[in-house]
Amino acid sequence: MTNRKVCIVGVGKIAHDQHVPAIDKSPDWELAATVSRAGSVEGIPIFRDFDVMLEERPDIEMVSLCMPPMARYQYARKALLAGRHVMMEKPPGQTLAEVQALVGMAKEKGVALFATWHSRMGKGVAGAKAALAGKEVTRGQITWKEDVRQWHPGQEWVFEPGGMGVFDPGINALSILTEILPEPVHVTRAELDFPEGRYTAIAARIEFSRGVSMDLDWLQKGDPSWDIEVETAEGTRVVLKFGGNELWVDGEKMPGAEIEEYPALYARMAELVDQRAIDVDLSPMTHVADAMTLGKRLTVEPFSF
């Protein structure tokens, strides 16, 4: 069977590191074109104008949006109105309302829409969810720290309005938390560190209901810390390390699932296209929005790449 054709829109670091290799491995998809102002993929036709691609390539039924979130709504809207299926990198947009509007368009056009949360595909996430099922959470600690200069080198957009700052990686942790907890939590308090002259935070401390807290830092040198610990009234202790890819339950390391994050996302997208279905969970973004609403803003020393 001939694979379905996909166009990557926004050919930057995440596209080269994750999306292109995942499509190459996929039994469902073939990379047929790209749209980018500057980037390209060797051997793949490139368009500089998204409208031209939509007009000239009716054979491409799905677009995978990999650009920063500030521009995502406009591209997703054009694709949906053209009857194309849409897959969106995280976060799916810069506001909740614009993503909700896209859901309405996808329903009206009868096409698939997928807001991806790649960290939910971590090898230990499903096991952590199973270990916590039916239990009462009494404490949780998220520690998500990395070096922005390593993971977003020179990418000034992360500090622009809509760029989310330290919540760009932090939302990965929130996508895992909202997947594994047996009951939802909500933000109760937050402190956000904004570098002088910047529009988004570089560090944050957040408190949630049910004794859950979160520590985000984008200035950690060396190896990143991508860890989640959860304790329950029943005595269960679940620890996820390495961004959800290593699971420990009550001090015992558990076997990981045979899964790769981005190939799993493209497999899920194929299912959604078959069903003409929508998979858009906005709970991680809701936590970010609530932290922004409740957060005490603190000004810290200037930051430059």
Architecture of domain 120-254+288-300: 2-Layer Sandwich (3.30)
What is the pTM assigned to this prediction?
A: 0.96
Provide the pLDDT for residue 305.
Answer: 96
The burial class, CB within 10 Å (0-12 / 13-18 / 19+), for 24 is exposed
90 is catalytic: yes
Tens digits of per-residue pLDDT, 68-95? Answer: 999 999 999 999 999 999 999 999 999 9
Average pLDDT, rounded, for the chain: 97
Q: Report domain extents, the chain.
A: 4-115, 120-254+288-300
Superfamily of chain region 4-115: NAD(P)-binding Rossmann-like Domain (3.40.50.720)
Position 1 scores a pLDDT of 55
For residue 248, which of 62, 6, 270, 256 has the smallest C-alpha distance?
A: 256
Condensed to tens digits (0 to 9), the pLDDT of residues 87-145 reads: 999 999 999 999 999 999 999 999 999 999 999 999 999 999 999 999 999 999 999 99
Residues 216 and 204 sit within 8 Å (Cβ to Cβ): yes
Q: What does the pLDDT average to over 275-283? A: 98
pLDDT-based confidence at residue 2 (cuts at 50, 70, 90) = confident
181 alpha-carbon distance from chain centroid:
18
What's the pLDDT at 91? 95
Both tokens of 32, joined, read: 């047929």
**pLDDT of 284 strictly over 70:** yes
Span 20-38, pLDDT tens digits: 999 999 999 999 999 999 8
Q: What is the pLDDT of residues 218-259, one digit of tens each?
A: 999 999 999 999 999 999 999 999 999 999 999 999 999 888
What proportion of the chain, given as a percentage, has pLDDT over 70? 100
H helical segments located in 57-189: 72-81, 96-109, 125-132, 148-151, 167-180
Instruction: Spot the catalytic one: 25, 78, 90, 253.
Output: 90
SS3 299: strand
Does the bond joining 91 to the residue before it have cis omega, within 30 degrees of 0?
A: yes
Higher local confidence (pLDDT), 76 or 3: 76
Q: pLDDT (tens digit, 9 = 90+) per residue, 293-303?
A: 999 999 999 99
